[in-house]
Structure 1
């Protein structure tokens, strides 16, 4: 019995349950019509609720940028399904209702009618349930903030090394702030986009914030962007300080990376509420700017300030081809060659390559391309589509942000020089002074300092670039074109700049009377035989032509001319007497001309402050009392001119003379000059010792008295055997404290140049073709002066060292030196020089380049293995 399982139910219970089941089945059929009517009404009400809720959700999503709540989304999805099902039942129901009316509850098809009735009853309950739960007070909320948001970015060319440099910097714990700087349109924002998208595509623990500064109220604008990115509600009535507090309270709890684009001045992170990055918080700030000085103000470590350079030729052409289309370049065999010329004129600036590439995309004939090449060479590219209206205005922001009109005028002045021209800084500043662009100063030194300060500011703004050596600057071709475009649009500055465009004849112009500055330098003009009526002309550059003849009346109608440059016209032998009409002239440059005599009419130039006669080797006559008649003269340059020492007596009358350059050809001339103490000790900046025949020894004291001597050249002193070092030069105040540049050329009997140790601020040393030179610094000679023995300060300011054709040179110095400022060493044809005065601590932190022949480099011996490892990467083969 234990294996038998039995269920016992009463008969009444079974009957009751069967009755209830049958009753329910019958109710689905009998109540079908009523339920159907109720369903229609309930569904309409549910649809109304859905419409209202959907409208609220869309408003929250589109207008408030919120994200719908998951429960609201789920309700809407379920309601949509239920309404769909209900609509289908309502469509199917009429035939069943008709059959019910004919047969009553005893339908001929009870199974199908019962199924429909059951479905309607179920859907009706679902509709009622959805209605009861469809009342939402909130339909959306703030979306979760992603760690980084992707930014639109086109494929880039040539930014890979910059990207790697920035990204490697970001990985360093000690680096908190990174600056990216460079010319407008060079790709800084594109690079920052790449950094942002790298964050987006990888896993990390940074909260990445992108913000763009503005010239107008940059802190407020950046605060608003940061607040939006970190989920703070926009409250326009709050002050900068209140917003800063809110931002700080959020960011100090996060590890963030702030990508700050396009700042124009020092940005006060603390005032904006941004916590400063530290190793403890691990946060980073990467910013872009066009100004190097802004980089240094934001953080002074230059290793963390990364310059974005223009593209090299190959990558420049690749970018240009992408924009112009390879099909266009293949339309005609000549187009590709012409395209290379167009690309060259863009000088690697991506903005120019992109803009001009797009402008030329529809140009299918060589003639159109020849025209484009010509207008680019003539600096009139604004006629091309997009250049004058799109490209130049973008670049002009850098110009607009210069401190004042003086800086802007000085910048525009640089566009008078030809493309790719290395502009000597001192020459440029002297022209600015002559034009009256600088402040009135009590002395020339202060005026020059202001000029160099402006040059530095233009370099910081990436509107000028440094030349290969520190004495020159250059202007990017596209920036120069932009400057000429600005001058062309200006009412005050009217330029006529046709420099370096291969002119063979004097050019024509429609409105000479409007021109304020004219440059025809670096052409092939031979004759100036037509009078130019230029009543407002202030600067005229005619240098580096083939001038032979300038008619006497050429200068008759230039009453306002202040700066005249005729330099480097070797065929110009006679100077027009008509120059006497230039009553406003302050700056006259006749250097490297073939002038044989100066006209006495020059005496009328009462305002002359600058006269350059350097290397006028054919000059035979200077009228007596001519030099002394220039009573306001401040700068007199006569290096390489045989008359310098002959007019020393006249110079005594020039009470404003500040700068003098001279050449001495023998010891007696040097001795004579030493008697003119005022000029000899204070005014002389540049000296050449040329020839020095019959002088085997030079007393260094004769030169040490020159307090402001900046440049010294020993040229072809074939008999000179030694420069004597005397003890009293060390004990006195006679050291070369101002000497920066030394050249020794063709001094075949010199064994060493140990005397340069008396120039503690020497920056550049060039020694060429001294066949007997054995060492640069002799330890034995230094030992004769006890104060110099063991001097570790040798060459502490040296930046460049060039040694050419020194066949007996075996030693620079016998011990390693620190060389804290050394940037470049160039050694050519010095076969005996097998060791450099370097160790692993030399030139530390500097980006040193050592140029030389590959065979010589392989034979160089090193202090130790660590020195060899340190300097092997610095070598650059010399291209002969």
Structure 2
């Protein structure tokens, strides 16, 4: 094992030869580990986690650093009361552990949000994801758990890892998970947070860090940092004395200091401060677990509207550590009616996103761990407060979260409680053995989340009879085969999600849901029958999502007998002309069953205006020039700039494109995803409009063996990913293709110091055996994080420069390919070493 002195010498040498590469690491966040093959330090970047800004005392960091640097310490426990900063310390370790450690570093840092109740398969899944493995959804039996444990054990035994477990509430069998424990000096370390010192003992912790409250000075500084300095509120002696009392009552807990400081910012009236002091004094008479809830409740009460308070309580339904999709939350809130404004679904979604931003600003939500842009989380203490408020203080927003244990013992509640339940969570449960409802009658319930739950038609009938006020119903991923006619009893239903179910037909009773605004049938591959009456009467419907659905619109002509009725059905089937009568429709996602239907759909003006995704499936006729044409632009036929996605047109053996394919984005200003499949022409050009207003975010090309050149012309300000796969003839990818075409397509020149792709975060090049070039010169890619290359043996150069991809976190590829790369210029060796720090063998 290398000594710390040897390590210091090596680090000094590498720091000089790589021109401050370690300083770059400290700025961007990451870890360092030993590369035995080349005897240098490589930088393996770990995902940085958002931190609330709590201040960890220096002595605590020093104590943690001592344990992390000690090879005899394998398991470290961090314990303390809720809101004291345990998770914050764990995030600091994840983000900046290299600053805490002396001696050997780690190959890999793994963050796990421990689910409650503890689920071994879910923990294994999080670890597998960090290792780049893919586990199917566990059935919960011992066999797959054991198999996955063996796989994790084998992979982790190859690395020196740092496993971070957040919020452990009981002993966890690490061996059952698949964690190697024999030699912490070689295998790595486990650090966990817990509220109980008993858990530290039960886990056999070799070292424990006890989180202590902030002292009075530290607490005051943290509290004041959350106040607006411009208001000078604390300059009033009366207010300052009361504020000092409030800080003392927070007990040195960072979470409470942040929440209360944020809630009281700008409050200059001493009477308001007196009210807070009285409330917090009253909390001293309640149990320790409840006392902090009074302080957190101030932030809840300080929210601007009842809608924000209702939205926060909605989030409290989700389990501790659960990452909530921002988009999904907004859809649910629209279904409940929280975002109504009478100005269309787009504006409602904007209000929903603004609402989430407001909860983030108030620190009542946190940014997601794995995706801080699209996901959010609820701190466990905030969740406790919201559930407590829903049960005791605000009974009009009652929540029922049903667990597996409750199903075994039975769910009971008072009659009054039944009347005030508004939201019910029953996700990830097995209800297949239940023939009647396992929960009492909740006639005023608004939301029922049953996704990822095994549920049958008979049980649903019981639910529907008991919940006449239901507004939001999520049945996605339920393996449901039949929708009972009792769904027609849900007269208030506004949101219905049946995606990824096994339903084969829709009942006509569905057409009685006159308040339904969103119907999601995406990925219902077995759906074949939709009676006209099931959809045509939905006069309030705003969103109809039938993407990748088994129901195909065979033709436009209503006289066509093939669509008059599905086999075995006596009712006339739904036709495109029926959708024209849905006067409130704003978004349509569909696939068509013939090229004639695709070419003729432009005759439906309303449908074209609300089209967001349109695909041709099972096409065997070829496409008319009205939609795709040789040498013509994609979709010139009247989509009114509203199309968001144009997928491959050659699925299921359909005819491929021929000739030059010229994609002009000024024809499609709302196109967000562009998918091209089986292009038969040798060249495809994608041209940006001159005003750079396109919103294209993702570009995918699949299975195009003839295509040789793919050229992007102009500037693409919003593209985040380029994905190319199985294009065996592709020789060149041109990402800066404007030099020769200043007057071709109106793209104009892009200066070398500008970026053609300022938001491009990921490039995937998979199985392109003829690819030789992906750029004629070094590209400026300021947002690029990942370059994935696999099966591209002829690609001998990368268009990268040390100063032109500042956020690059990883280059993933085969070692043989990496070793054969040529690095041009007089400083080729320096460039190679600079990018070696982020290379990961695939």
Rounded to whole Å, the distance in 2 between the matches of 1:763 and 1:755 is 14
- Preserved CA contact (<8 Å) 1:528 1:549: no
- Find the residue that maps to 2:464 and give its secondary structure: coil
Change (3 A) 1:826 1:399: farther
Partner residue, 2:822: 861
| Aligned-partner Cα distance in 2 for 1:339–1:320 | 19
Residue 647 of structure 2 is matched in structure 1 by 713
Say if 2:498 and 2:522, in contact at 8 Å, map to a contact too.
yes
Q: How does 1:276-675 map to 2 (within 5 A)?
A: 353-354=193-194, 356-358=195-197, 360=199, 388-389=289-290, 402-417=303-318, 423-460=324-361, 463-466=365-368, 468=370, 472-475=374-377, 478=380, 481-482=383-384, 483-484=386-387, 487-489=390-392, 490-498=394-402, 508-511=411-414, 512-526=418-432, 529-531=435-437, 532-551=440-459, 552-569=461-478, 571-643=479-551, 645=553, 647-664=575-592, 666-675=594-603
Q: Which has the higher helix share?
A: 1
Q: Is the 8 A contact 1:608 1:633 kept in 2?
A: yes
1:767 aligns with 2:724: yes
Q: What is the TM-score with the length of structure 1 in the denominator?
A: 0.54
Contact 1:817–1:842 under 8 Å retained in 2: yes
Q: Deviations over 1:166-197 (max 9, x none)?
A: 99xxxxxxxxxxxx99556x8524359979xx
1:524 deviates by 3.0
Q: Distance in 2 between matches of 1:429 and 1:732?
A: 26
Q: Provide the TM-score with structure 2 as the length reference.
A: 0.56
User: What is the alpha-carbon distance in structure 1 between the residues aligned to residue 656 and residue 412 of structure 2?
Assistant: 55
Contact 2:112-2:164 within 8 A present in 1 as well? no
CA contact (8 A) 1:636 1:660 kept: yes
Corresponding residue for 1:701?
633
CA offsets, 1:79-101, max 9 Å, x none?
A: xxxxxxxxxxxxxxxxxxxxxxx
Shift of 1:666: 4.9
What is the number of equivalent residue pairs in this alignment?
564
User: Distance between the aligned counterparts of 1:773 and 1:190, measured in 2?
Assistant: 56
Q: Is the 8 A contact 2:315 2:378 kept in 1?
A: no
> What is the CA–CA distance in structure 1 between the aligned matches of 2:522 and 2:165, rounded to whole Å?
46
Please report how far the alpha carbon of residue 636 of structure 1 lies from its aligned counterpart in structure 2 after TM superposition. Answer: 1.0
Q: Distance in 1 between matches of 2:376 and 2:509?
A: 36
The question of whether the paired residues in 2 share the 8 Å contact of 1:826 and 1:852 is answered with yes
Distance 2:354 2:665 in 1: 33
Is the aligned partner of 1:821 residue 2:783? yes
The answer to which structure, 1 or 2, has the higher relative contact order (CA under 8 A, 6+ apart) is 2
Q: Which of residues 591, 612, 617 in structure 2 aligns to 1:685? A: 612
Distance 2:576 2:518 in 1: 17
CA distance in 2, matches of 1:529, 1:855: 59
1:583 positional shift? 0.6
CA distance in 1, matches of 2:376, 2:199: 28
The runs of 5 or more residues in structure 1 that have no matched partner are: 1-160, 168-179, 196-260, 263-287, 291-308, 342-347, 366-384
Larger Rg: 1
Instruction: Classify 1:336/1:553 alpha carbon distance in 2 versus 1 (closer, same or farther; 3 Å).
Output: closer
Q: 1:716 to 1:412 in 2, by over 3 A?
A: farther
Shift of residue 566, structure 1, vs aligned partner? 0.5
Q: Once the 2 structures are TM-superposed, how far is the Cα of residue 319 of structure 1 from its aligned partner?
A: 10
Shift of 1:420: 5.5
Partner Cα separation in structure 2 for residue 787 and residue 690 of structure 1: 33
1:850 aligns with 2:811: yes
- Distance apart, 1:655 and its partner CA: 2.0
For the residues of structure 1 that align with 2:524 and 2:773, how far apart are their CA atoms? 38
Shift of 1:487: 4.0
Q: CA deviation at 1:753?
A: 4.7
Are the counterparts in 1 of residues 712 and 736 from structure 2 also a CA contact under 8 Å?
A: no
Q: Secondary structure of 2:308's match? A: helix
Cα separation, 1, equivalents of 2:457 and 2:347? 38
- Give the match's secondary structure for 2:603: coil
Structure 1, residues 766-807: CA drift from partner, whole Å, max 9, x if none? 333344444444888995736347556532332333333333
Q: Structure 2 vs 1, CA of residues 603 and 357 (structure 1 numbering), >3 Å: closer, same or farther?
A: same
Instruction: State the alpha-carbon separation in 2 of the partners of residues 389 and 412 from structure 1.
Output: 17
| RMSD, aligned CA | 5.2
Q: Secondary structure at the match of 1:564?
A: strand
Matches of 2:410 and 2:739, distance apart in 1: 60
SS in 1 for 2:635: helix
The answer for the alignment partner of 1:738 in structure 2 is: 695
Q: Give the gaps of 5 or more residues in structure 2.
A: 1-22, 30-47, 63-83, 92-109, 115-160, 181-188, 205-285, 555-574, 671-688
Q: Aligned equivalents of 2:455 and 2:343: distance in 1?
A: 37
Compare 607-616 and 658-667 and name the one that shifted more: 658-667
Deviations 1:701-745 (A, max 9, x none): 343646233344327646424585459766997968233233444
SS of corresponding position for 2:526: coil
Q: Take 1:637 and 1:318, find their aligned partners in 2: how far apart are those partners?
A: 39
Shift of 1:835: 2.7
Query: 2:330 touches 2:349 (CA, 8 Å); kept in 1?
Result: yes
